[in-house]
Structure 1
Amino acid sequence: MKKAFVLVVLFVFPLVAYLFFASGVNNFGKLPILTENIPSLETIDTKLTLDDKITILGFIGNDVKGRKGNAFNLNQKIYKRFSKFKDFQMVILVSKGSEAEVQSLKKELGTLSDVEKWNFAFASDAEIASFFETLDVNVNLDKNLSTPYVFIIDKDRNLRGRNDDEDEGVKYGFNTSSVAELNNKMEDDVKIILAEYRLALKKNNANRSN
């Protein structure tokens, strides 16, 4: 009896667990599209693109110092974990005239991680407000054209989020003021979208080899 129990624990249970999680990835492994066709960034910064990138998009506006803590939370909990992925990037919209403050922020972030994929796009206040409106989300920019929320944009320039979040119902963005939210929700959702593209790539490669 003991041997049978040991065999179940060692072999059967891991197999059942694998099948459970594999089923979960297949059935629940896609983040819903909440807003389609986010505009291209090239009109603001010709060196940046959202196409073919998994982008974490944020808005600091003219409050670089006030959002420093949010940037550090995002860097430690999300950026450092996923920055090694080839198509991953951060894009933060900042008001023109804040260049020196951004350089200081990047220098501080650089003491903690490689900041190669931290991108800051400098825009007029009108451009920031207009671009934010296209996201069609349920949060607003403050008077400084800033928000603690960041958004996941997929490779086709669609905003991804949750339509069945246990706390908010529809969840468009992630509050970088909350380490718990970054740990418990955003990290999972970034993992899901990365897994989604990896699975699609494997299928394409398999189809080509057939």
Structure 2
Amino acid sequence: MKKTFVLVVLFVLPIVVYLFFASGVNNFGKLPILTENISEARFNGENIRFADKITVLGFLGNEVELKKGNAFNLNQKIYKRFYEFNDFQFIMVMPIGTEDEVENLKRELSNLVDIEKWKFVFEEPELIQKLFNSLKTDIRLDENLGTPYVFIIDKERNLRGRTEDEDEGTKFGFNTNSVADLNNKMVDDVKIILAEYRLALKKNNANRNK
């Protein structure tokens, strides 16, 4: 028994402590709200909304071919893992004129997974910039109205992210050029916000049953 206890203390306990701290503060609380009341665009009359959905929002820009790698990274590392959750969606806001290129991209993405929850919407440059500006981040769209960063928007149209990220301080978005950023940070943050809403739903159901 003494040998077993010593082994647990020497080997198991340090691993447990390491995993606890390696998981980070974000994994044990709510994902911070960074910007409230993101603009609820009409998206050219399409019935696509932020409200009541957990949204991954992206801006691929005019040069869709150059952003395919970003889309595939996002598809493989985030979408495939979480798309079966209710009220979860991807919205990619695209400049008008990219429709044909987007159709090609969708065909390629659909070879890997059901892309029903990938939503592509096409807008004028002014509306794209207005929506992006409403995020109030330290990130900028490039000259093609694109960025490799994607953003988590909650059901109340708030931008979620990190206020004490070890690398960036305030982390507004996730870089789809970086598999490490998606794997090591975005996966965790999507888990947190999904768990947050699932817990709230359980509490609401419990209160109703009282």
Alpha-carbon distance, 1:60 to partner = 1.1
Give the TM-score taking structure 1 as reference length. Answer: 0.88
Alpha-carbon distance, 1:41 to partner = 2.6
Q: 1:26 to 1:206 in 2, by over 3 A?
A: farther
Aligned residues: 201
In structure 1, give the amino acid aligned to 2:160: R
Alpha-carbon distance, 1:28 to partner = 2.7
Match in the other structure for 2:130:
130
Q: Contact between 2:43 and 2:121, CA under 8 Å: does it hold in 1?
A: no
Q: 1:175 to 1:25 in 2, by over 3 A?
A: closer
Secondary structure in structure 1 of the residue aligned to 2:191: helix
Alpha-carbon distance, 1:3 to partner = 9.3
Q: 1:27 to 1:186 in 2, by over 3 A?
A: closer
Unpaired runs of 5+ in structure 2?
Answer: none
Q: Contact between 2:27 and 2:189, CA under 8 Å: does it hold in 1?
A: no
Q: Contact between 1:60 and 1:146, CA under 8 Å: does it hold in 2?
A: yes
Match in the other structure for 2:60:
60
% of aligned pairs identical? 65
Q: Contact between 2:43 and 2:123, CA under 8 Å: does it hold in 1?
A: no
Match in the other structure for 2:180:
180
Alpha-carbon distance, 1:61 to partner = 2.0
Q: Contact between 1:44 and 1:123, CA under 8 Å: does it hold in 2?
A: yes
Match in the other structure for 2:167:
167
Alpha-carbon distance, 1:27 to partner = 8.3
Matches within 5 A, 1:1-12: 1=1, 5=5
Alpha-carbon distance, 1:5 to partner = 4.2
Alpha-carbon distance, 1:29 to partner = 2.3
Residues 8-48 of structure 1 deviation map (CA, whole Å, 9 limit, x = unaligned):
89xxx8xx99xx79xx9998321000000001132544320
Q: 1:199 to 1:115 in 2, by over 3 A?
A: same
Give the TM-score taking structure 2 as reference length. Answer: 0.88
Unpaired runs of 5+ in structure 1?
Answer: none
Q: Distance in 2 between matches of 1:135 and 1:87?
A: 21
Residues 112-154 of structure 1 deviation map (CA, whole Å, 9 limit, x = unaligned):
1101000001001111111111110011000100000000000
Match in the other structure for 1:150:
150
Q: 1:26 to 1:166 in 2, by over 3 A?
A: closer
